[in-house]
Structure 1
Amino acid sequence: MITNQPKPIIQTVTSNGWTSGICDCFQDLPQCCLAFWCPPCFACKTSYEAGECVCLPLLDGFGCIPPITTSLRVSIRQRYGIEGTVCKDCVYACCCAPCTWCQIAREIKARAHPITFINMTSR
C-alpha cells in the first residue's frame, strides 16, 4: 500500500520589470483619483508606505528635477530588482510625477502580499 501522496510542484516566475506600466493608472482607480486631485497627499502617503518619511515628497518643490520622486523610484527599483536607469527614472519624475507616484504605489501594493503556499502532509 502506498502511503505517500505526490507533492505539489510550485513554479514562480520572477519578473525584473514593473508589474504595471507608467500609464496604467486605471488599474487602481481610487489611487489614480487621489494622485490627480491631491498629488502632495498621495505622494506623502506613498512615501510612508515605502518606509520613508511622510513629509519627504514635499521637498520636491525646491528644484527643477524632483529629487525625492527620482530617488524613491530608484529605491523601489533596487528593492524589487527592477531593471532600469536613473536617467529614465529622472525623465519619468520630471515629465509625469503623478503617474510615477501611482506606479510606485501599485508596485508596493502588488509586492506587499506575496503568495504563500502551504504544503499539508499527512503522516
Structure 2
Amino acid sequence: MSWTVSTQPQAAILSYEDGEWMSGICDCWQDKRQCCFACWCGPCFACRTTKEFGECLCLPLLDIFSCCHPVTMSVRLSVRRRYSIRGSLCTDCVFSTCCTSCVWCQLSREMKRRELPTVLGDIISR
C-alpha cells in the first residue's frame, strides 16, 4: 500500500494587529531586566539594540552630541516601516527626544516579538 501526499507542510504565520505596536512606549514592566539595563546604561543598550536591528553598533553614540536624538528617531522610523506600524515622524521625534530609554526598550521588545522563526524552503529566513 502506498500513501500519496496531497499537501505540503506550510509555514506558520503569526498575525499581529495590523499597524499597531505590540507594546506601548511605557510598557517597560513587560521586561524588567531590559528596562533596568536601558535605564542604567542607555548608550550600551541602544548600541546593542541597533546591532540586533542590523545597523552599525556605534550608530546611537551620535545621539550624545544632539538634543533631538536623530539616530533614535530614525531607528524608530525604520522599525515602524519594517513592521508596517502606523505613526508619524512627529510622534517619533517627540518620543525620541523626551523618552529615549523608553523608545529603545519598546524597539527591542518589538523586534523580539515580531521576529519569525527560520523556515526551510522558499520563504526567506531572517
Q: 2:71 aligns with which of 68, 71, 74?
A: 68
Q: Which residue of 2 aligns with 1:119?
A: none
RMSD of aligned Cα (Å) = 2.0
Asked if 1:42 corresponds to 2:61, the answer is no
Q: Which residue of 2 aligns with 1:83?
A: 86
Identity %: 54
- Residue 84 of structure 2 aligns with an amino acid whose one-letter code is G
3-state DSSP of counterpart to 2:21: coil
- Alignment partners' CA distance in 1, 2:102 and 2:78: 17
- Alignment partners' CA distance in 1, 2:118 and 2:55: 25
Q: TM-score, normalised by structure 2?
A: 0.79
Q: Which residue of 2 aligns with 1:22?
A: 25
- Residue 45 of structure 1 aligns with an amino acid whose one-letter code is R
Report deviation, 1:99.
0.2
**Looking at CA atoms only, which structure, 1 or 2, has the larger radius of gyration?**
1
Asked if 1:55 corresponds to 2:82, the answer is no
Asked if 1:31 corresponds to 2:17, the answer is no
CA displacement, residues 41-86 of structure 1 (integer Å, 9 cap, x when unaligned): 0000000011010000000011221000000000000000000001
Q: Which residue of 1 aligns with 2:124?
A: none
- Alignment partners' CA distance in 2, 1:48 and 1:11: 25
3-state DSSP of counterpart to 1:18: coil
Gaps of 5+ in 2: 1-6, 120-126
Gaps of 5+ in 1: 1-6, 117-123
Over 2 Å off, 4+ runs: 10-14, 113-116
- Alignment partners' CA distance in 1, 2:40 and 2:13: 41
Q: 1:94 aligns with which of 76, 92, 97?
A: 97
- Alignment partners' CA distance in 2, 1:29 and 1:101: 13
Counting matched residue pairs gives 110
- Alignment partners' CA distance in 1, 2:118 and 2:29: 24
Q: TM-score, normalised by structure 1?
A: 0.81
Q: 1:56 to 1:11 in 2, by over 3 A?
A: closer
